[in-house]
A and B are shown apart, each in its own frame.
Chain A
């Protein structure tokens, strides 16, 4: 596990003051003493009627709050809170309270919240196998299904699917691919599981912890369902 992200996006009607990160800082300073600024760019592409496309590049300002070890951090941008934990991942029971503490502090700072547009709990796993060309089915229960007429060998792949839950109100996207950037003498894979709220305003701010707890169980089931015992032998499991 290289990253877990819990992301909360608020509805456009939720008032968002640029000063929010500054107001929040004293409430979290004890655990998150360092802040940095991040300005990620976003590209939007629009097709032209006469053909081709045009694009618009926008930059949004995020404030990033780091814990002392710089492995736990959270980012605040326009109507977005994203809490990240990078490797080494502690147990879920240790990460979950962090979500509660930070989100509560932010909710209190915002005051009047119109609603939650999207909630996400995402686990990104890098899996390395010390073989040049490992047989996928030996380690994974997900992979590309290739017909007999296709060449037997391939160097890279990407597969994925989305599982609906609770009548489509929630969903979980599973992404499995080879890592394009390779490590010497081993093959890398990316197993990415993103559980999210598919219908805005169907979870209240007070219900977030319950929602992520349920989400964590679903993510765990999908992770376990994606790998074989052979792979479990290779790495020490951390849930």
Chain B
């Protein structure tokens, strides 16, 4: 039963503090669905959701991938060649949550002024592909590599566990290209 439909900005969503409790599910097929850089949060009535509640829809990999792409958009991360990105996610679905967390952390480290780009890099020499999250920060260019090192340390264990590859690096291209 739908009780309320609320919208919340990304910052408001981030401010939701984890605490024990049961009862409300966030709507949207993969969890949170972002539309037009805003979160659409659908709350269901608490009495209708028992502890062992059943999700009311089959979990879709495609929806989970769309959710993460929309989440990156909400973080103001540029995405190029989405078809290729989708296909890589489909083969490495364990990376959906990882990319979400890493991207949020990276945005936090570099702030809103940095230009972040997420893409699938195809190496023509070894016919291999991997995700690349690239950072262009003109306000503090000397700190880029230091911050990247810190993020890598924070995610060291997860980097070793994911099934695909992701490169976190500096973007040497000119902003706007």
- Residues of chain A having any CB pair with chain B under 8 Å: 2-3, 5-7, 9, 12, 36-47, 53-57, 64, 70-71, 75, 80, 82, 84, 86, 117-118, 120-122, 124, 126, 156, 158, 173, 179-183, 190, 192, 194, 196, 200
With contact pairs A64-B94, A181-B70, A181-B82 given, residues A3 and B46 touching in the complex (Cβ less than 8 Å): no
Q: How far is the CA of A238 from the CA of B74 in the complex (A)?
A: 34
B30-38, B120-128, B132-140: which one contacts chain A?
Answer: B30-38
Measured between beta carbons, the chain A residues less than 8 angstroms from B34 are 180
Which residue of A is nearest B69, CB measured? A181
Q: Is the CB of A118 within 8 A of B54?
A: yes
- In whole Å, how far is A192's beta carbon from the nearest beta carbon of chain B? 8
Q: Interface size class for chain B?
A: 35 or more
Q: How far is the CA of A9 from the CA of B58 in the complex (A)?
A: 9
Q: Is the CB of B35 within 8 A of A82?
A: no
Q: Is the CB of B70 within 8 A of A180?
A: yes
Q: Is the CB of A45 within 8 A of B26?
A: yes
Q: Mark B1-39, 1 if CB is under 8 A from A, else 0.
A: 000000000000000111111111110010110111000
Q: Is the CB of B57 within 8 A of A120?
A: yes
Q: Does B66 make an interface contact (CB < 8 A)?
A: yes
- In whole Å, how far is B101's beta carbon from the nearest beta carbon of chain A? 9
Which residue of A is nearest B4, CB measured? A47
With contact pairs A43-B31, A156-B36, A180-B66 given, residues A54 and B91 touching in the complex (Cβ less than 8 Å): no
- In whole Å, how far is A169's beta carbon from the nearest beta carbon of chain B? 15
Which residue of A is nearest B82, CB measured? A181
Which of A45, A84, A194 meets B43, CB within 8 Å?
Answer: A45
Query: From residue 107 to 152 of chain B, which have CB atoms closer than 8 A to chain A?
Result: none
Q: List 29 A-B contacts (CB under 8 A).
A: A5-B61, A6-B58, A36-B94, A40-B97, A44-B21, A44-B25, A45-B43, A46-B21, A46-B24, A46-B46, A53-B16, A54-B20, A54-B21, A55-B16, A55-B21, A70-B90, A71-B90, A75-B59, A82-B59, A84-B61, A126-B62, A156-B35, A158-B35, A180-B35, A180-B73, A181-B70, A181-B79, A183-B82, A196-B56
With contact pairs A12-B52, A181-B69 given, residues A44 and B22 touching in the complex (Cβ less than 8 Å): yes
Q: How far is the CA of A2 from the CA of B90 in the complex (A)?
A: 10
Query: From residue 42 to 100 of chain B, which have CB atoms closer than 8 A to chain A?
Result: 43, 46, 52, 54-64, 66, 69-70, 73, 79, 82-83, 90-94, 96-97
Measured between beta carbons, the chain B residues less than 8 angstroms from A40 are 64, 96-97
Which of A46, A80, A121 meets B22, CB within 8 Å?
Answer: A46
Q: How far is the CA of A122 from the CA of B93 in the complex (A)?
A: 18
Measured between beta carbons, the chain A residues less than 8 angstroms from B161 are 37
Which residue of B is nearest A10, CB measured? B54
Q: Does B163 make an interface contact (CB < 8 A)?
A: yes
- In whole Å, how far is B130's beta carbon from the nearest beta carbon of chain A? 16
Q: Is the CB of A57 within 8 A of B97?
A: no
Q: How far is the CA of A44 from the CA of B21 in the complex (A)?
A: 8
With contact pairs A56-B19, A120-B57 given, residues A45 and B24 touching in the complex (Cβ less than 8 Å): yes
Q: Is the CB of A179 within 8 A of B66?
A: yes
With contact pairs A47-B24, A54-B21 given, residues A70 and B91 touching in the complex (Cβ less than 8 Å): yes
Q: How far is the CA of A9 from the CA of B46 in the complex (A)?
A: 21
Q: How far is the CA of A80 from the CA of B31 in the complex (A)?
A: 17
Q: Is the CB of B93 within 8 A of A190?
A: no
Which of A38, A43, A46, A55 meets B94, CB within 8 Å?
Answer: A38
Q: Is the CB of B31 within 8 A of A42?
A: yes
Which residue of A is nearest B93, CB measured? A38
Which of A12, A64, A122 meets B60, CB within 8 Å?
Answer: A122
Q: How far is the CA of A57 from the CA of B13 in the complex (A)?
A: 13
Measured between beta carbons, the chain B residues less than 8 angstroms from A57 are 18
Measured between beta carbons, the chain A residues less than 8 angstroms from B60 are 3, 5, 84, 122, 124, 192
